Structures are given as C-alpha cells and as structure tokens.
Structure 1
Amino acid sequence: MNLYVKSISKSIKGEKVLDDISYTFESGKIYGIYGKNGSGKTMLLRAIAGFINTDKGYIKYNHKALHKDMDVLPDLGAVIENISFWSMYSGFENLKMLSNIKGIVSDEEIYEIMIYFGLDPKSKKKVNKYSLGMRQKLALCQALMEHPKILLLDEPTNALDQHSIDLFRERILEEKKNDTITILTSHNKEDIEILADEKICMEFGKIKELM
C-alpha cells in the first residue's frame, strides 16, 4: 500500500512552513529527505504522522484520509523530535507500557530489539539516568519493535556511535524487506546515500529536487 501526500500546505504565525507538497511514497522503499534547518523536513514528517493538521491538501493511506477517516496512520513507527518517556521507569518498562497499547509485541520481542541496540532489558536503570545516546536507542526500539508498515525517522542516528549507526542501517534495510515505507531525515548524508532509494531535497517548505 502506498502513502499519498497531495498538495499539502501549512502556515504557522503567518509563515508558510509547508508549501504545496505532493509526493507518493511506495511500499518497500526508503526515502531520504535532506535540507537545511528550517527547510520543512521535520514539519513534513509531523504532518504525515498526523501530529499537526495541514491548512490544505490531504494525506491518504490504504484509501483512507488522515484526520477524516482516521486520526493517525495505522501501523506507524516514528522518531520525531524529542521522544517523551516515563523518566522514573526503566527502558524495558517504558517499552512494555507502550506495547500494551496494541498488545501485539511479546516481552521476548522487546528483549530482542533492546539487546540488538545494546540496551540491557533487565537493567533497573531509570530512563532519567540514560545518556543521550541511550535515549536515542530506546526511541529507535519503540519505533521498530512492532514492525510498522510506515516508519518516520527524524535524525535517527543523532548521538549514536558508529557501531550503533551500522546496526540501525542494517535493521532499516531488513524492515524494507517487509514492504515498509521508510521516510527519514538526516544531517548525516552518508545515511541517505547508503539507505535511500529516493532522495528528496527540501527548501523553504518546498520539495526542491529529487534524486
């Protein structure tokens, strides 16, 4: 199933942050969005995720329109801006509480994704004691643990060491085999060069060019 973004625009305090964007994102492909700070990359991901309403245009998935037929996209995994966790609980406890919402992930699967990214699921360490890199790994765990059909990843390798970046890339390429639509932004051009099937440049809220 494809994700259709059609003629969406968004203004905040009179400033246009998304300007008539249309794009079709296909299943089984990875899309890399790059551009300067303020170009609209994160705002586009927020719009697709359903975190904001657009002023015009529509977003459709599986023949259903966002904010009309559904409040948020189904089968969505996302890391957009700062992820909020329950700071006084451990990493595993956080993922367990999040997994209870849908009830489709076992404890063993949570263990697997945490161990994959180098986090100890048995640790009692509270998230408020996590380093920035550990919090980023936990954010990736919550986005990936349910094997979503749509992945929205804003600067996913931020604060990760090279080994963790390599693990992330391997995992994203594995998810691609499950026909996942992956849309990521990154200041690390190597992420986009290695992962993206299609590259999208944004500038001033517009899609400037495709590669």
Structure 2
Amino acid sequence: MSRLHIDSVTKSFGSKKILQDIYLSCETGKITGLLGRNGEGKSTLLQIIFGTVKGDTQFIRFDHSILNTLFDRKNRITYLPQQSFLPKNTKVKSLISLFCDKKNAEELFSLVLIQPFLNETAKNLSHGEKRLIEILLVIYSNSDFSLLDEPFYGLSPKFIEEVKFLIQQQSKRKGFIISDLQYHYVLSISNDIYLLSDTHLKLIKDDKELQFLKYLPSS
C-alpha cells in the first residue's frame, strides 16, 4: 500500500485566497471524493497535487519521498483535467501504450467499451466519446494515483455507470481522488469524502454532516 500525503497547501490569486492550510490523504486501494461548489478551488488543488500549479505553500509526499517537481510525480500521479487533451490525429490504440504499461494496456484493449474507438482519432469523436477515452486512459494509466477532475461531465448515463464500475475495479491496485459537481456519483463510490468550502477542506463523516454544512439539501 502506498500513501499520498498533502499538507499545508495554501494558494492565492492576487488578493483572493483560494486555499488555506489544506490537508488531504489518499491510499492505494481507496477512492477519495473531493466535493465543493463551483469556484471553490477544487481544480486548483488537484493541479497543485499533480504539479502543474505551484501552491504558495505546499508539502506533498508519496510514501517517504517529497514531491517537488513534475518529474518526481512520474509513474506516481496521473491527472484527468477538465479540458480535452487528446491529440486530434492520433489513433486511440496508439495512445494506450503511452499511458499504460503492458499489463494495463492488455486489460484496456480487451474492454468492450473501448473497442469501437481503437482505430478512431479524436477529430472523429463526439465530446462524450473523447471524454470517455480520456477517462479510460487515466484510469488504466501506469501510476499509483489518478486524479479525476469532473470525469462524469458530458457522459451518457450508461457510460457513467460503466466508468464508475471500472474506477472501483482499478482502485484495487491504485488510489483515486475524484472531484465532480454531480456529487451523487462521487458519493456512491468513495471511501472517504472531503468538502472544500470557504478556502478550507474538511473530512466528512456522513451525509448528515454535508446537510449540516448546507452542501446537501436536508432530507
């Protein structure tokens, strides 16, 4: 089991503070949900963990190794951004070997879900199809942890259920941190839930606490 430890993260843009004294922990074998309203800083936090944004202060550790650069995160953390990242003219089957080791690539090639798209390029796919391919590449990527930012946005209900199942299957070997405004999907598969609100992150015990904090409506 490996652990990803995030501590003392702060971030401001100009005079506006986005994140303050953030602590977050995730282990391989677990799915961690990150909730929060739009604009609270969830994407910024994921980008800091991945290494493409620098916090004003931050301490990020993988097991006993402190992660300072993108190179430190190689094969340890992969990231699904909200923006599409597929090259327009590369076939899907060629992208698999870039993200996956041999074992994971074989698993991904065998998925019925991806087989209709293997010989397609991104320019010939719909938005939902591109998003599906991006999610699958990151889920099966050669890393110990995957960060998923809005993975369910733009997917059909059928794809969402299949993706949820695959995330749960892959969580047996890696850890996930998932953020999505469609909170019910995140809640349904997460082992731990954190709520980001007013620059602070709080570990949530149950749905009642989310209701008390006015993130969920009272039942």
Q: 1:173, 1:57 → 2: CA distance? A: 29
Distance 1:118 1:159 in 2: 20
Aligned residue for 1:172? 167
Given that 2:101 and 2:141 are in contact with CA atoms closer than 8 Å, whether structure 1 keeps it comes out as no
Tell me, which stretches of 5 or more residues in structure 1 are unaligned? none
Q: How many residues get paired?
A: 204
Partner Cα distance (1:194, 1:117) in 2: 24
Residue-by-residue CA offset, 1:158-189 (whole Å, 9 max, x unaligned): 111111111111111111222x2111011112
1:57-106 deviation digits (Å, cap 9, x = unpaired): 3100021111169542533232122132211222223334x24xx76467
The secondary structure found in structure 2 opposite 1:116 is: coil
Q: Which residue of 1 aligns with 2:176?
A: 182
1:16-95 mapped onto 2 (5 Å cutoff): 16-67=17-68, 70-95=71-96
Give the deviation of 1:51 after TM superposition: 1.2
Mark the CA change 1:127 to 1:6 in structure 2 (over 3 Å): closer, same or farther: same
Tell me by how many angstroms 1:21 deviates.
0.3
Whole-angstrom CA distance in 2 between matches of 1:209 and 1:31: 10
- Consecutive unaligned residues of structure 2, counting only runs of 5 or more, are 206-219
Match for residue 111 of structure 1?
109
- Asked if 1:139 is matched to 2:140, the reply is no
TM-score of the pair, normalised by structure 1: 0.85
Aligned: 1:205 with 2:199? yes
- The TM-score, its normalising length taken from structure 2, stands at 0.83
The amino acid that maps onto 1:191 is: Y
CA RMSD of aligned residues (A): 2.3
